[in-house]
Amino acid sequence: MSKKHLISELSKADYITTLATLFIVNAFWLLWHGQIKLAIALAFVSMFLDYLDGTVARKYGCSPYGHVLDSLYDVLGWVLFPALVVNIQAKWEWWAVIVTTVYCLAAVIRLSRFTVAGYVETNKKYYTGIPVLFSKYALLVSFILGAKLSVVILAIMIPLMVSSRLIKKPHPFFAQLELLYAAIFLWLYLNHV
């Protein structure tokens, strides 16, 4: 019995998730090399692709690997990357390290719940607990208003992520703004601002 090659088993959405993962991995590489603004620009493009993969999966279907690939991206793009940027901006102060570490733990627990349970279906889709995608605001704020406020945002997210509170899924417009955020950080990088 001949098995299909793994690549041929992936769906269109999985390819988008893979591209998003490629972008976020390269964003980590850029951070390592001190190119923080360019790294954030690339991260926001990857975050938009994470939104897009879900849209494509709902329209065209997904493979059995889709949920796992998406969760792996979520840990890299929505959890570890913002936590790392906030720590870099906070100059690795002990209070930032503690908050971002607890944020990462709460986020992984929250993502595991979502991977198993999914959305709460009513007349509209709801998340149980605040989704990790709200970490993008901590990422934005880290440059605009400073790392301390970013740490506060992540600290507020911690109990909300693991709560049973229902949070309405944000309008797609907010995901599309990620391309605008990417353009802003690319402009900042190119103009050495």
Confidence at residue 123, expressed as pLDDT on a 0 to 100 scale? 59
- Which tokens hold the place of 157? 């997210």
Q: Please check whether residue 112 lies inside any domain of the structure.
A: yes
Q: How far is CA 116 from CA 68, 136, 149, in A?
A: 10, 23, 32
> What is the average pLDDT across 58-87?
91
Report the number of distinct structural domains present in the chain: 1
- Which tokens hold the place of 8? 């041929």
Mean confidence (pLDDT) of the chain: 91
Q: Please check whether residue 4 lies inside any domain of the structure.
A: no
Q: Please check whether residue 24 lies inside any domain of the structure.
A: yes
Q: Please check whether residue 40 lies inside any domain of the structure.
A: yes
Residue pLDDT, tens place only, 26-56: 999 999 999 999 999 999 999 999 999 989 9
Looking up tokens 């595991």, which residue turns up? 112
* CATH code of the domain covering residue 176: 1.20.120.1760
Q: Please check whether residue 15 lies inside any domain of the structure.
A: yes
Instruction: Give pTM, 2 decimals.
Output: 0.91
The boundaries of the domain holding residue 176 are 10-190
Looking up tokens 């990620």, which residue turns up? 178
Distance between CA atoms of residues 84 and 189, nearest Å = 19
Q: Please check whether residue 45 lies inside any domain of the structure.
A: yes
Q: Please check whether residue 55 lies inside any domain of the structure.
A: yes
> What is the average pLDDT across 153-182?
93
